[in-house]
Structure 1
Amino acid sequence: MARDRAEELVRLVVDLYGAGLARLLDLLYEQGRLDDAVLDAMAGDPLVAGLLLVHGLHPNDTQTRVRGALDSVRPYLASHGGDVELVEVTDAGVVKLQLTGSCDGCPSSATTLELAVEGAVRDAAPEITEIEVLAAPKAAGVIPIASLRVRTAGADAPARSGDWQAVPDATALVQGRAEARVVGGVAVVVCAVGQELYAFRDRCGSCGASLAGAALHRRAGAGAGAAVLRCPACGAHFDVPRAGVGLDSPDDRLEPLPLLMRDGGVDVAVPVGA
């Protein structure tokens, strides 16, 4: 009984806040102050956007917010030579996506979806009920892999294979060098290449040694965004923007980790049990 009363009190307080927030928006509108610039600023502020979302007052619909979330993870997917497209958001709250490029059919597609896409979509649209990944047009239908179906509500939701963790001292990252960090108990290196950041397990794909402090080089004739990491122990070379593929041997490669720059910080998805 006491718990029921407490829950009812919380509900009443939340409803009161929601009504007050709705009235505030009405007053701004009546005064001609609620223009597109103000709405965009509200939607772009994580704290304000979260409050609006809780009370059903967010200016952007679910599809718009999902598209924005996908845009935020495109740099990571592009580092794997892939991309993601929003196919549909159904009335039942199911988000249907299609992985393209090298992501489609890749054995790591499940991890790419769950770690790089799921978190961003959940944050932007917590009301969605399910995420489905569709096969490429040449093989229509839903990919029959249970791990690609991520339920975001309900007691039967499968456990996530990883979680986003903040990178310590992200503002101190140095250009042109593999910076070592411990993220969620896992040793990683973060490489700053121009305006982009890339994260990998701190383990050489050739000899297994640490990559901490390794210098990043640009091959002759390569573009401004190119960067090659040289292992300080064995001298093996890896292409940083291309997901750490080995340049000396295609069988040797670094292990990339999903990375997002958001809310003024840097987060890396560290697999559970790593």
Structure 2
Amino acid sequence: MADRPTTPAELPDNDAQWRTAGDRIQTLLDSCATGGAVAYERAQQLVREVVGLYGAGLERIMLIAGDPGLTERLATDDLVASLLLVHGLHPHDVRRRVSDALDRVRPYLGSHGGDVDLLEVTDDTVRLAFTGSCKSCPSSAVTLELAVEDAVRAAAPEISAIEVVAAQPAAPSGLIPAESLLARMHPPGSAWHPVPELTQLEPGEVAGFVVSDTTLLVCRVGDQTLAYRDHCPVCDDSLAGAQLHETLLDCPRCGTRFDVVRAGAGPDGAHLEPLPMLPRDGVPSVALREPLGAST
């Protein structure tokens, strides 16, 4: 958000390291299981004691802080906010946290010609409406939904259902549970993969990356970095060697032009397959799924 007082320059250099501490702790706990049930239980108890200790400390900090400005800084720092959520200490209600999360992903949605409106937050359900020029592009629609779902669940883990107002007027019920929609259009097992090398791209540059056996084509347009699967839908070939002309990417084999800032739109309804890309834990990350049509 534009009014957030904390800037990346103020964060410690090892900020991303601590955000992945949960995974490392779980790995260590799992390794303790090899020492037997007693050792594993003692390791779990140790973690519970440590978590309880820093939870009590966080609660004390929030009480002592008092100053609304300082409280806001703590609540809008991603790392601190995640800890506050774990202990039920976050000062913002669910609607505020969801709204802020949507604001953070709106620039990404806009780069794909889309937007999202927060319609309602009731109990443990969030209702959203997607808008924009991408609603007729199935792969782009899934891209936007996956990015929004990830942001909402990170900001409000207590949310158990995300309902999306169907962009297509022919949808029978008007409301589609995000989980069932995403399950149909991309197989289970989708995951975010960090690609720190993306920060090295210069404006106007196009580069290929292999991530989890998937070849990506990544373009840098101004301050936007956009990722697509390396496949031309017109000639059914690789885009390796493609050149970027402002926002248009030329296929080096068939010459077809695709608008990379408009979800890869090409002529006659053809389009590249965009991939969700967001900064996660301070590192550019791409969400990958199986190719369309793959068996689940």
TM-score, normalized by the shorter chain, greater than 0.5: yes
1:236 paired to 2:236: no
**Separation in structure 1 between the aligned mates of residue 182 and residue 235 of structure 2, nearest angstrom:** 36
Do 1:259 and 1:269's aligned partners in 2 also have CA atoms closer than 8 Å?
Answer: yes
C-alpha displacement of 1:205: 2.5
Rounded Cα–Cα distance in structure 2 between residues aligned with 1:85 and 1:210: 36
Q: 1:14 aligns with which of 51, 61, 69?
A: 51
| 2:67 is the alignment partner of 1:23 | no
Pair 144,70 (structure 1): closer, same or farther in 2 beyond 3 Å: closer
Unaligned runs of 5+ in 2: 1-36
Report the equivalent of 1:132.
163
Q: Provide the rounded CA distance (Å) in 1 between the counterparts of 2:79 and 2:108.
A: 25
SS in 2 for 1:245: coil
Does 2:190 align with 1:172? no
Return the structure number with greater helix share: 2
Deviations 1:205-226 (A, max 9, x none): 32233323422113xxxxxxxx
Match of 1:155 in 2: none
Q: Is the 8 A contact 1:94 1:129 kept in 2?
A: yes
Equivalent-residue separation in structure 1 for 2:122 and 2:140 (angstroms) = 23
User: Could you tell me which of 73, 94, 97 is aligned with 1:65?
Assistant: 97
When residues 237 and 134 of structure 1 are mapped into structure 2, their CA distance, relative to the original with a 3 A threshold, is closer
Answer yes or no: is the 8 Å Cα contact 2:249–2:258 preserved in 1.
yes
Identity fraction in percent: 53
CA shift for structure 1 position 237: 1.2
Contact 2:277–2:287 (Cα < 8 Å) also in 1: yes
The two structures have a TM-score, normalised by structure 2, of: 0.72
**1:200/1:146 Cα in 2 relative to 1: closer, same or farther (>3 Å)?**
closer
**Alignment root-mean-square deviation, CA:** 3.1
1:148 aligns with 2:181: yes
| Aligned length in residues | 251
1:40 aligns with 2:72: yes
Which AA in structure 1 matches 2:251?
A: C
Contact residue 139 and residue 274 of structure 2 kept, 8 A: no
Superposition deviation, residue 261 in structure 1:
3.0
Q: Do the aligned residues in 2 keep the contact of 1:177 with 1:213 (CA within 8 Å)?
A: no
Aligned to 1:224: none
Answer whether contact 1:72 1:260 (CA < 8 A) is retained. no
Work out the CA distance in 2 between the residues paired with 1:207 and 1:149. Answer: 28
- Looking at structure 1, the residues matched to 220 and 53 of structure 2 have their Cα atoms a distance apart, in angstroms, of 46
For residue 231 of structure 2, the aligned residue among 167, 180, 203 is: 203
| Inter-partner Cα distance in structure 2 for 1:98 and 1:71 | 14
Contact 1:85-1:99 at 8 Å conserved across structures = yes
> In structure 1, what residue type is equivalent to 2:108?
Y
